[in-house]
Amino acid sequence: MLKKERQALIMREVNIRNKVLHADLSKKLAVSEDTIRRDLQELADEGKLVKVRGGALSKSFQTNSYRGAEIYKYQEKTAIARKAVPLLSNGMLVLISGGTTTIELARILPQELEATFYTPSLLVALQLAEHPNSDTILIGGRISRNAKITTGGEVVSILRDIRPDLCLIGTNSIDARIGITDSDWEVVDVKKAMIQASEKVAVLAISEKLDNAQKIRIAPINDIDYLITELEPGDPLLGPYKTAGIQVI
Amino acid sequence: MLKKERQALIMREVNIRNKVLHADLSKKLAVSEDTIRRDLQELADEGKLVKVRGGALSKSFQTNSYRGAEIYKYQEKTAIARKAVPLLSNGMLVLISGGTTTIELARILPQELEATFYTPSLLVALQLAEHPNSDTILIGGRISRNAKITTGGEVVSILRDIRPDLCLIGTNSIDARIGITDSDWEVVDVKKAMIQASEKVAVLAISEKLDNAQKIRIAPINDIDYLITELEPGDPLLGPYKTAGIQVI
DNA sequence: CCATCATTTGCAATAATTTGCAATATTGCA
DNA sequence: TGCAATATTGCAAATTATTGCAAATGATGG
């Protein structure tokens, strides 16, 4: 049995039952519990499930418990959000992805801004809806449980029909050679379409996400126009991105 | 049983009932009271609930930040939501409107339900997204700031293309002669389309909304199949609705 | 075709966690 | 106060995690 095949079966089991036990899987797949443990560890590292003692749980099962928890690295994220605000101006059509940084941006946008926003993210949309002078359009589709964004062909096809002035993308991994990447293909599909649709693309990322890559590529580095981090634009960490032709803010 | 799984179940129980007892949990989860106590201790340390002698309380109940006072007539609304659950079964296509009652319903739906939901409400969608075995499709469109639902021609046209088995509508005004009404025309347009699309229509309303009418009509009374209130089905207030041919729950 | 290297897998020894029980302390309440 | 219910603590048994290692497997390049 191939490792990938085994992991795919594990994921299916997790999605159906919400929980899996080492013992069950090891019997069902005829491998040792060590192997199962290692598989679960890998899947957990990719963020596809939550590993717990004795087995693993599906993400949705666990997720509702850390609602209301503090946003990780909030200070950095709100600093990034503040730096992104000047990119927006009245009359623009703006596309915003999901993620804690972009939610924070949506929250702190100036009330007087008159722009039109498209987003697939429920949480971003809720924040944007508080701004009286801007219009928010939520792109409809099937909801991805993990990311709380709408996904699927319908989303992509709506994105094909619009031409936003600016696209604001939050990302988990950016690398100066590879570009931006993610591990959830549903998210990748949507972000790809967002970037292709847009005139300009700005990536928001806290510095620890720099020089990192995951399995699936969203866009090469030269599709990106702006990179916003909490660091000073002169920081040496950002050198490679400048060299690649990105405007670092 | 996995520890995290148990704790997730405890949290769910706490969120639904607002209070749990050692004895109940220990019986339901088949572990000793010591274990329950330790679990509650851990959850309390993480700030997810408030431990009291003999059990635990939901944090929102304690600090009444979210439900205790935030939602008007929460008790009535959750009672209505509980009565609505049996209308749903596996494999159904269900349409859900916005409103605090329907959000509550989305929150307490059984985890094991396998249904497909369409909704224009962001808050309902967020709750539905926590249910691992159901699919949620958010109908896209421009967001109405007040109601936090998507509205507009796009929403209506999507609704024309689906044929749900059941439509669950929360309403602010229902009258036995006039039907259901509202004052926000954007909301009315969407709810009209929802009702027309659906096979069966259930209206959820707390009793003080009965025998009330507002400016714009959503649907006449005979478009409605079920009426769910917090009252006993035999309550005299509900007489006129029964006479009108509605099944009162 | 073979040697070599990296990856994967199972195993064993050890460490850490979880759980129920029992002894003891504390609390709420009449 | 005194009693009954609940909490706390320490402990031992069972389960699970971690680590290092060696054998098996498969890929790579000469």
Query: Which CATH number covers residue B20?
Result: 1.10.10.10
pLDDT at B137: 94
Judge if A205 and A110 occupy the same domain.
yes
CA-based radius of gyration for chain B: 20
> Can you tell me which residue has the tokens 């987003």?
A119
- Tell me the per-residue pLDDT of B154-179, one tens digit each, with 9 for 90 and over: 899 999 999 999 999 999 889 988 89
For residue B55, the cross-strand partners are: B21, B52
Number of H helices and E strands in chain A, helices first, is 10, 15
Judge if A131 and A221 occupy the same domain.
yes
- Tell me the per-residue pLDDT of A185-217, one tens digit each, with 9 for 90 and over: 889 999 999 999 999 999 999 887 888 777 788
Distances (CA, A) of B136 to A171, A209, B55, B95, B204: 24, 31, 34, 10, 20
The Cβ-side half-sphere exposure at B103, using a 13 Å CA radius, reads 14
Judge if B10 and B83 occupy the same domain.
no
pLDDT at A73: 67
pLDDT at A228: 93
B12 touches chain A (CB under 8 A): yes
Is residue B187 domain-resident? yes
Judge if A62 and A105 occupy the same domain.
no
Judge if A102 and A187 occupy the same domain.
yes
Judge if B204 and B86 occupy the same domain.
yes
φ, ψ at B38 (rounded to 5°): -65, -40
Judge if A169 and A51 occupy the same domain.
no
Judge if B47 and B105 occupy the same domain.
no
Residues within a 7 A CB radius of strand D: A 21-23, 33-34, 37, 41, 51-55; B 22-23, 34, 37, 41, 52-55
CATH number at residue B194: 3.40.50.1360
Is residue B10 domain-resident? yes
B58: tokens are: 């939901």
CB contact under 8 A, B129 and A143: yes
Q: Assign A66 a pLDDT band (cuts: 50, 70, 90).
A: very low
Counted domains in chain B: 2
Judge if B39 and B146 occupy the same domain.
no
Is residue B23 domain-resident? yes
Which residues does A108 contact at the CB level (< 8 Å), separation at least 6?
A: A78, A81, A82, A85
Q: Which contiguous run of DSSP H or E holds residue A170? A: strand A166-170
How many angstroms is C1' of C5 away from CA of A21? 34
Beta strands in chain B (DSSP E): 19-21, 49-52, 55-58, 93-96, 116-119, 135-138, 141-144, 149-151, 166-170, 173-175, 179-182, 200-204, 216-219, 226-228, 247-248
- Tell me the per-residue pLDDT of A1-57, one tens digit each, with 9 for 90 and over: 677 888 888 888 887 777 888 888 888 888 888 888 888 888 888 777 888 888 888
Judge if A83 and A137 occupy the same domain.
yes
Of B22, B38, B63, which one is at a domain's C-terminal end? Answer: B63
Q: Give the domain extent around A8.
A: 3-66
The gap from C-alpha B2 to its chain's centroid, in whole angstroms, comes to 29
Is residue B194 domain-resident? yes
Q: Do the Cβ atoms of A174 and A227 come closer than 8 Å?
A: yes
pTM, 2 dp: 0.75
pLDDT at B159: 92
Judge if A154 and A241 occupy the same domain.
yes
Choose the mutation target among B1, B3, B4, B128 for the interface with A, i.e. most A CBs under 10 Å: B4
Q: Helix or strand or coil: residue A240?
A: helix
The CA distance from B59 to B213, in Å, is 37
Q: How far apart are the first and last CA of chain A?
A: 49
Judge if B100 and B209 occupy the same domain.
yes
Of B39, B63, B87, which one is at a domain's C-terminal end? Answer: B63
Within 10 Å of residue B2's Cβ, how many Cβ atoms?
A: 16
Pairing of the two strands B93-96 and B116-119 = parallel
Of B42, B63, B84, which one is at a domain's C-terminal end? Answer: B63
CB contact under 8 A, A140 and B138: yes
